[in-house]
Amino acid sequence: MLSKLDQNEHISTIPRLDRDHPMFYWIFKNMDFTQWSSAKCSGVLWLSGPLECNIPQVSSYIVSQEKNAALNTEHFVLYFFCSAATETRSVVANFTHTLLNQIVCSSPMDKRILIIRRFLYSLIEGISNKEASLSRKQRVLNEKGLPDISIQSIILNAPPNELFTALEAVLGDEEQRGLSVIIDGLDKVSYQQSEFIREVRAFVEYLQQRISKIKILLTSRPLAEIKDLFGGLPCIEHDRERKGPSVP
């Protein structure tokens, strides 16, 4: 029922990059990126540059690097390319469902059903609290642990804020695991962009407060409205970046 997107298939369409190519010096030889990518560092970083900077290539490369680093550890990686989102459904639904699917797939088999239930329970609780018309009977879970109301309706039609709250409820129990989150191309969102980015900003702040070992990477073009919403976040903006001492 999830409107999840195959992010790996989308990444496969993005050309591989040469990390040592001069066009990517502004990122890979930047002191802020070096600090962010350090295994001992937890934090958030926003990459901002025009289309010709080919930032999706950078995001794809970083996803690969983070996944390789997470092998044989409890660390896990969540990633979402906004350019892969479909316009037929809310980008919030695409985003939360895709990350939920990644969380489930990266978790032990005996924990997967619990993760799904926690996501559903959060949605049911949030919707039930807001819709007084729901009867007591509709809120009762049947013997299989599933709600009597339509699961499909809950999953596919939940309000954006409830979807993010449900995703946070799932990740709230992952405090002990290290986490990397890469969200690429926030400027590519064409419908309700401001609402989505506000939710992403709140989501980032939640993760920073709840998970001690976390790395978050956000990317977009340097649009004024995104700058306003991301004000205060550590940022590397093309041609305005801080360069380390090793950079000519």
- Asked if residue 227 is part of any domain, the answer here is yes
> From CA 166, how far away is CA 127, in angstroms rounded?
11
> From CA 140, how far away is CA 102, in angstroms rounded?
28
pLDDT band at 86 (very low <50, low <70, confident <90, very high): low
- CATH code, domain carrying 158: 3.40.50
- Asked if residue 11 is part of any domain, the answer here is no
| Cα separation values, 134 from 122, 127, 150, 151, 154, Å | 15, 9, 12, 14, 13
DSSP 32-46: HHHHHHSTT--EEEE
| Residues forming a β-bridge with 235 | 46
The tokens describing 87, both together, are 């316009």
| Cα separation values, 121 from 79, 145, 203, Å | 24, 10, 19
Query: Of the ranges 31-40, 45-54, 81-90, which one carries the lowest mean pLDDT score?
Result: 81-90
Query: Of the ranges 30-34, 134-138, 163-167, which one carries the lowest mean pLDDT score?
Result: 134-138
pLDDT of residue 141: 46
| Residues forming a β-bridge with 141 | 147
pLDDT of residue 125: 83
- Asked if residue 129 is part of any domain, the answer here is yes
pLDDT band at 245 (very low <50, low <70, confident <90, very high): low
- Asked if residue 245 is part of any domain, the answer here is no
- Asked if residue 248 is part of any domain, the answer here is no
Residue 233 clears pLDDT 70, i.e. is over it? yes
- Asked if residue 28 is part of any domain, the answer here is no
| Count, residues in the chain | 248
pLDDT tens, position by position, 39-50: 777 899 999 999
- Asked if residue 53 is part of any domain, the answer here is yes
Find, among 188, 237, 230, the residue nearest to 48 by Cα: 237
Q: E strand or H helix at 220, and its extent?
A: strand 214-220
Query: Of the ranges 21-25, 124-128, 130-134, which one carries the lowest mean pLDDT score?
Result: 130-134
pLDDT band at 148 (very low <50, low <70, confident <90, very high): very low
Beta carbons of 127 and 162 less than 8 angstroms apart: yes
- Asked if residue 6 is part of any domain, the answer here is no
Higher pLDDT, 180 or 172: 180
Q: How many domains does the chain have?
A: 1
Residue-number span of the structural domain to which 166 is assigned: 34-237
| Mean pLDDT in residue range 188-196 | 85
